[in-house]
Structure 1
C-alpha cells in the first residue's frame, strides 16, 4: 500500500487526506496546533464562540464534493446556510448598501443608493460571470510553472480574456461611477490580500462568487467544515495527529521520503504533501542545497499580502443594526491601501469588517453578540516588527466604530486581540501575511508557486500561497487537485 505523509491540517491538507484515503492510500497527517483547520480556528470566550478564520463561505459545492466523493452525505457533517442579503456596507455619510445574491433585491438597493449606476448592474454580472467561468475551466484545475505553460492556444486565449492587464479599480469604473459602489466592490481585492488599485481585474470574479453564487455559513460555526473533513478522513482510515510538529522533510537522492517529527522519530512514505505557507515552511523544513529553484533569497523576495488585526469581542447584548456581515468604510480608501502597501504602516483611515454570526445562529453566542472585528493590517516588517501598539490601535478601532453608532465598550464582557505576530507564529505565515504573496505583480497573480517541487521529487504543496491561490474554496481545491495528481502517478 502506498503511503502519503501530510504536513499541516488546514483545509488543503484535510481535503488531500480525504481524497487519498478514500482511494486506498495510507495517510498520516501531522498538525502542530491542537486544532485541525488551519486559520479556520475555533475560539471560545465565556459563552461566546468564534471562527477565527474564514467567515465568508462561497462555492459550497467545493466543500460538499470533498465529503461526497466518499459516498457520504455532506449534510451529515455540516449544514451550509445560504445568506441571501449577506453584507451590509456602511459609509461615513450614514448611508448603507446591502449586498445580496438576490439580483432583483440588489438592483433595488442600487437604485436607492446609486440610481445612475443601477442600469449597468446586469451587464456587470454578465462580465464577472464570464471571467469566473473561464477561470473555473482553465485555471482552477491547472498549475503553471512558467509563462510557457500559457502558450497553448486555448490557455493563451483564455488568459487574455480574463482582463489580466487591467486593475480591479479600472474594471469597476467601466460600470460604476458612484464612489460608494467603487469602494464596496473594491474591497473584494482584500479577499486575496491585495489592493484594488493594483490587483488584476481577473479577481473581480470574487464578486461573482458572492453576488451570483451566494454566501454561506456553516451552522454551529464554519469550523464545522474542517471538523467534517477530519471526521471523514479518519473514517476512511487516515491517521490525523494534532500537537505534533514536523522538524524536517527527509530527502534522499533528490526525493522526499518522509519526515522527522519534533520528538526525533521518523515516518517514511511514498509522497509528502506540505500544507503550509510555502514561503516559510519550505525553507524551514528543507536545506537550501536541496531546493536550488527556491533559494532562501527567493523565499523572502515576494511582496507579502496584507495581514489582519483582529479583535474578538463578546457582548452582553445583541446590538441593533448589525447583520451577519458588516463593513464600515473609511472616507479615503485609496489612502488606506497607500498606507498598507506603499508605506507599510497601519492606516489612519481603516475600514473595519465585523462578522456577527450570532445574527444567523444565536446558539453560538446565546448571551450576546460574538463580534469578529477585522482591520486590514500591513505584514510584519522584514525583521518581524509589529509597527503598532496593539492596545492603542484597538481603542482607535472602538472609537471609529462609535462614530457609526456601534458601542462596543459599554457591552463588552469578553475580549481577545490577535495581531499579525500571532498569525506568523501560529500559522507559520510569511511575515504574518494571510495569503502568502500579494497579487499585485502579474507573476505573483498568475504564476503562484506550483503544487509540486521542481527540485525534490514526490514533494507537493497545497494551501493559499500556492496555486490556485488564497481563500477557503481555492485551498480546498488545491488539496484535492494534488491528491488526484498523486493517485495518477501511482496508478491508483
Structure 2
C-alpha cells in the first residue's frame, strides 16, 4: 500500500486525502493546529460562536462532490441554505441598496438607483455566466505539472476569451454607471485578495456565482464543511495528526522520502502533498538547493494578496437592520486599494464588512455574532496601541452608520495580519497567498506538482486553480486525480 503524507489539514489537504484514502492509499494528514480546515477555523468566545472564515459560501456542489466521489450522500453530512437577500451595502451619503439573487427584485432595486445599470443588468448576468462557463470548462478541473500543460490550443483560446487584459473595474463600467453600484460589484476582487483596478476581469465571474448561482450558509456554521470532511476522511481510513508540526521534508536523490516532525520523529512516504501556503511551505520545509525553480529571491518577488484586520464581537443585542452580510463602504474605494497595495498601510477610511450569521441561524449562538473585517496590507506588525486605536476607528465609523456596538459588547477577539501569518503559515500574513494583479500570477500559478521532485505535489490557494474555499477544495481533488491517473 502506497504511503501518502499530506502537510496541512485545510480543505485542499482533506479533499485530496479523502479521495486517495478511498482509492486504497495509506494517507496521513499532519497539521500544526488543533483544528482541521486551516483558515476555516471555528472560534468560541463564551456563548458566542463564530466562523473565522470563510463567511460567504458559493459553489456548494463542489463540496458535495467530495462525498459523492467516494460513494457517500452529502446530505447526511451537510445542509446548505441559500440566502436570497444576501448583502446590504451602505454608503457615506446615507444611502444603501440590497443585493439579491431574485433577478426581478434586483432589477427593481437598480432601476431606483441608476437606469443605466437597470438596463444593462441582464447583459451583465449573461457576460459573467459566459466567463464562469469558460472557466469551469477549461480551468477549474485542470492541474499543471510543467509549462507544457499551458500550451494546449483549447486552453489558449479559452484564456483569451475570459478577458485577461481588462481590469475588473473596467469590465464593470460596461454595465454600471453609479459609483455605489460599482463599488458593490468591484468588491468581488477582494474575494481573491486583490484590487478591482488591477486584477483581470475574468474574476468578475464571481458576480454570476453570487447573483445567480447563489450565496449559501452551512447550517451550524460554515466550519462544518471542514468538520464533515474530517469525519469522512477518518471513515475512509485516513490517519490524522493534529498539534503536530512538520519541520522539513526528507529529500534523497530528487525524491521526497517522508517528513520530519518537530519532535524529531520521521514519517516515511512514497509521496508528499503540501497543502496550504506554498510559498511559506517551500521556504520552511525545503532547502533552497532542492528548489532551484523557486529560490528565495523568486519567492520574495511575489506580491502578497490582501490580509485582514478582524474583530469577532459577541453582542447581546439583535440588530434588526442586519441581513447575513453587510458592507459599509469608504468614500474613496480606489484610495483604499492604493493605501493597501502601494502605500502598504491600513486604510485611513476603511470599508467594513460584517457577517452576522445569527440572522440566518439564530440558534447557533447567543445574541449577535458579528464578524467584522477590514481589508489590510500583508505583513504589518501592529503594536498593542495601534491595534486598540484602529479598532476604535472601526467602531467609530460604524457608529456613524447608526451601529453602536460598544454598549452591548460582551466578548471580543481581534485578529491581525501577523496572527494570520503565524497561525496559518500564511505568506506575509496574506489571506489568499499571491495577489492576482500580474497576469502570470492570475493565470500561471505555481504548479500542482514539483518540477524537480517528481513525487511532491501541492494543493491550496497558492496553486491552481486559486484561492477561495471551492477552488481550494477543487485543487485537492484535482491533485488526487493527477496522482491516480499518472503515478500509481
TM-score by length of 2: 0.98
Which structure 1 residue ranges, 4+ long, deviate > 6 Å from structure 2? 385-388
The residue that corresponds to 1:396 in the other structure is: 393
Q: Distance in 2 between matches of 1:377 and 1:145?
A: 33
Q: Distance in 2 between matches of 1:178 and 1:147?
A: 42
CA contact (8 A) 2:146 2:447 kept: no
Per the TM alignment, residue 348 of structure 1 is displaced from its structure 2 partner at its CA by 0.8
CA contact (8 A) 1:380 1:386 kept: no
CA contact (8 A) 1:310 1:418 kept: yes
Distance 1:386-1:162 versus aligned 2 partners, 3 A rule: farther
The residue that corresponds to 2:428 in the other structure is: 431
The residue that corresponds to 1:371 in the other structure is: 370
Q: Distance in 2 between matches of 1:386 and 1:127?
A: 45
The residue that corresponds to 2:357 in the other structure is: 357
CA deviations on 1:429-448 (whole Å, 9 max, x unpaired) are: 01100011110001111111
Q: Return 5+ residue gaps in structure 2 as ranges.
A: none
CA contact (8 A) 2:218 2:224 kept: yes
Q: How does 1:213-252 map to 2 (within 5 A)?
A: 213-252=213-252
The residue that corresponds to 1:410 in the other structure is: 407
Per the TM alignment, residue 488 of structure 1 is displaced from its structure 2 partner at its CA by 1.4
The residue that corresponds to 2:284 in the other structure is: 284
Distance 1:16-1:147 versus aligned 2 partners, 3 A rule: closer
Distance 1:362-1:385 versus aligned 2 partners, 3 A rule: closer
CA deviations on 1:353-373 (whole Å, 9 max, x unpaired) are: 00000000011213x100000
Secondary structure in 1 matching 2:297: helix
Per the TM alignment, residue 152 of structure 1 is displaced from its structure 2 partner at its CA by 2.9
The residue that corresponds to 2:178 in the other structure is: 178
Q: Distance in 2 between matches of 1:358 and 1:229?
A: 24
Per the TM alignment, residue 147 of structure 1 is displaced from its structure 2 partner at its CA by 6.5
The residue that corresponds to 2:466 in the other structure is: 469
Per the TM alignment, residue 143 of structure 1 is displaced from its structure 2 partner at its CA by 3.4
Per the TM alignment, residue 44 of structure 1 is displaced from its structure 2 partner at its CA by 0.4
Q: Distance in 2 between matches of 1:393 and 1:155?
A: 45
CA deviations on 1:376-412 (whole Å, 9 max, x unpaired) are: 000115xx66798111000000000011111110110
CA deviations on 1:235-265 (whole Å, 9 max, x unpaired) are: 0000011101101111111011111111111
Tell whether 2:142 aligns with 1:142: yes
Q: How does 1:267-306 map to 2 (within 5 A)?
A: 267-306=267-306
Q: Distance in 1 between matches of 2:89 and 2:147?
A: 39
Q: How does 1:119-198 map to 2 (within 5 A)?
A: 119-144=119-144, 149-198=149-198
Distance 1:420-1:315 versus aligned 2 partners, 3 A rule: same
Per the TM alignment, residue 115 of structure 1 is displaced from its structure 2 partner at its CA by 2.6
CA contact (8 A) 2:143 2:479 kept: no
Q: Distance in 2 between matches of 1:169 and 1:99?
A: 18
Per the TM alignment, residue 71 of structure 1 is displaced from its structure 2 partner at its CA by 1.4
Is the deviation greater in 120-129 or in 150-159? 150-159
Q: Distance in 2 between matches of 1:184 and 1:387?
A: 32
CA contact (8 A) 1:346 1:388 kept: no
Secondary structure in 2 matching 1:300: helix
Q: Distance in 2 between matches of 1:350 and 1:297?
A: 32
The residue that corresponds to 1:207 in the other structure is: 207
Q: Return 5+ residue gaps in structure 1 as ranges.
A: none
CA contact (8 A) 1:346 1:387 kept: no
The one of 422, 425, 443 equivalent to 2:419 is: 422
Tell whether 2:1 aligns with 1:4: no
Secondary structure in 2 matching 1:457: coil
Q: Distance in 2 between matches of 1:386 and 1:377?
A: 15
CA contact (8 A) 2:312 2:372 kept: yes
Is the deviation greater in 104-113 or in 62-71? 104-113
Alignment RMSD (CA, Å): 1.4
Secondary structure in 2 matching 1:28: strand
CA contact (8 A) 1:345 1:387 kept: no
Distance 1:401-1:385 versus aligned 2 partners, 3 A rule: closer
Q: Distance in 2 between matches of 1:22 and 1:412?
A: 46
Distance 1:234-1:408 versus aligned 2 partners, 3 A rule: same
Q: Distance in 2 between matches of 1:487 and 1:11?
A: 19
Per the TM alignment, residue 490 of structure 1 is displaced from its structure 2 partner at its CA by 3.5
Tell whether 2:452 aligns with 1:458: no
Q: Distance in 2 between matches of 1:255 and 1:480?
A: 23
Per the TM alignment, residue 117 of structure 1 is displaced from its structure 2 partner at its CA by 1.5
Distance 1:388-1:461 versus aligned 2 partners, 3 A rule: farther
For this pair of structures, how many residues does the alignment match? 488
TM-score by length of 1: 0.97
Is the deviation greater in 101-110 or in 460-469? 101-110
The residue that corresponds to 1:32 in the other structure is: 32
Per the TM alignment, residue 109 of structure 1 is displaced from its structure 2 partner at its CA by 1.4
Q: Distance in 2 between matches of 1:304 and 1:101?
A: 32
